[in-house]
Structure 1
């Protein structure tokens, strides 16, 4: 998908995933474990990479992040604005960009992507989200945020055990449902290239 201009369908799909991320951020965000809202954002960021590919998937997450920083209430608990930059959970938001990019890149590297590759790529994306987000949260609490009593690196990871089963299941689900949509978009891209050739 690289080295070409944006088409209307590309911009539309980016907008769709920005909206899905906003919905996913607030569907279940009233549940908070430690300092971490339980959301569907990992699922949608993985799905963005699996369906849109590395380039558009990452762009959709960049747009989502910028829209939220600009003040739109698209983050968990209907928050938005530059204040998110100093919150311990901002690392998760940043990770969505890399999650989408890597998920899409792994799939793109497969000559004929299989369902197994989609599932593997989705799980890799989820792992990246957990590693980057949790480590950022830990250092944020240690360096500038007010940490809860008894906070430790182990506790930060203990908080992540609550959403882990949900994210594993949803990442596998993303890997299962994405192939058909991905292949349909690839055919659309091929037709587009033939028409402008």
Structure 2
């Protein structure tokens, strides 16, 4: 049976929900950062950090809370939006994928905490985000959403080429940052114990 979250863990979950909301709304100050209906955001970066810093369990919980908070109407999704209708959005698959991104990133790092593992785990987490989100988007457009004229599976992936270089760089940066953060004086005591119980 899983233990209850501590007060500080609940605070960290709240912090990452806030960070995800900030990352989601970069496009509000730079509206041109939207390609094919897909906002170019910092959410993948923060989802990876959640898993890499908080561990698989708490990281995934923070992403679940983020998705739930948005679905109940709090404007934490892209363009300061929220609500149950987002469940049927072609891009909602990316929000679901953040849960897997955080969990898998954290799980890999929990096996071995070396710098190259942090980077590899971050890139794998990013890949899951792309694979799940892009496939959800394709099937959403084909099954229930109004697809752009001439929309194909190849076009869905072509849209993702634009944010890909940014996300690769940020994923590597997230891995390096999380590795150094865990070894900092600030995190030495608490985060090591957090990982042992995650």
Query: In the superposition, relative to structure 1, how do residues 152 and 20 fare at CA in structure 2: closer, same or farther (>3 Å)?
Result: same
Contact 2:76-2:82 at 8 Å conserved across structures: yes
Contact 2:74-2:83 at 8 Å conserved across structures: yes
Question: Secondary structure of 2:55's match?
Answer: helix
Query: In the superposition, relative to structure 1, how do residues 7 and 137 fare at CA in structure 2: closer, same or farther (>3 Å)?
Result: same
Identify the residue that residue 117 of structure 1 maps to in structure 2: 117
**Number of aligned positions between the proteins:** 189
Identify the residue that residue 98 of structure 1 maps to in structure 2: 100
Identify the residue that residue 195 of structure 1 maps to in structure 2: none
Q: TM-score, normalised by structure 1?
A: 0.91
Shift in Å, 1:44: 0.4
Shift in Å, 1:188: 1.7
Instruction: Provide structure 2 residue ranges, at least 5 long, that are not aligned to the other structure.
Output: none
- Which residue of 49, 62, 66 maps to 1:64? 66
Q: Report 1:174-193 matches (<5 A).
A: 174-183=174-183, 185=187, 187-188=189-190
Q: TM-score, normalised by structure 2?
A: 0.91
Question: Secondary structure of 1:5's match?
Answer: coil
Query: In the superposition, relative to structure 1, how do residues 189 and 74 fare at CA in structure 2: closer, same or farther (>3 Å)?
Result: closer
Shift in Å, 1:107: 0.3
Q: Report 1:161-180 matches (<5 A).
A: 161-180=161-180
Instruction: Provide structure 1 residue ranges, at least 5 long, that are not aligned to the other structure.
Output: 193-197
Identify the residue that residue 83 of structure 1 maps to in structure 2: 85
Contact 1:25-1:75 at 8 Å conserved across structures: yes
Return the alpha-carbon distance in structure 2 between the equivalents of residues 190 and 172 of structure 1.
22
Identify the residue that residue 26 of structure 1 maps to in structure 2: 25
Contact 1:28-1:40 at 8 Å conserved across structures: no
Task: Return structure 1 stretches of 4+ with deviation > 4 angstroms.
Answer: 183-186, 189-192
Identify the residue that residue 149 of structure 1 maps to in structure 2: 149
Shift in Å, 1:74: 0.4
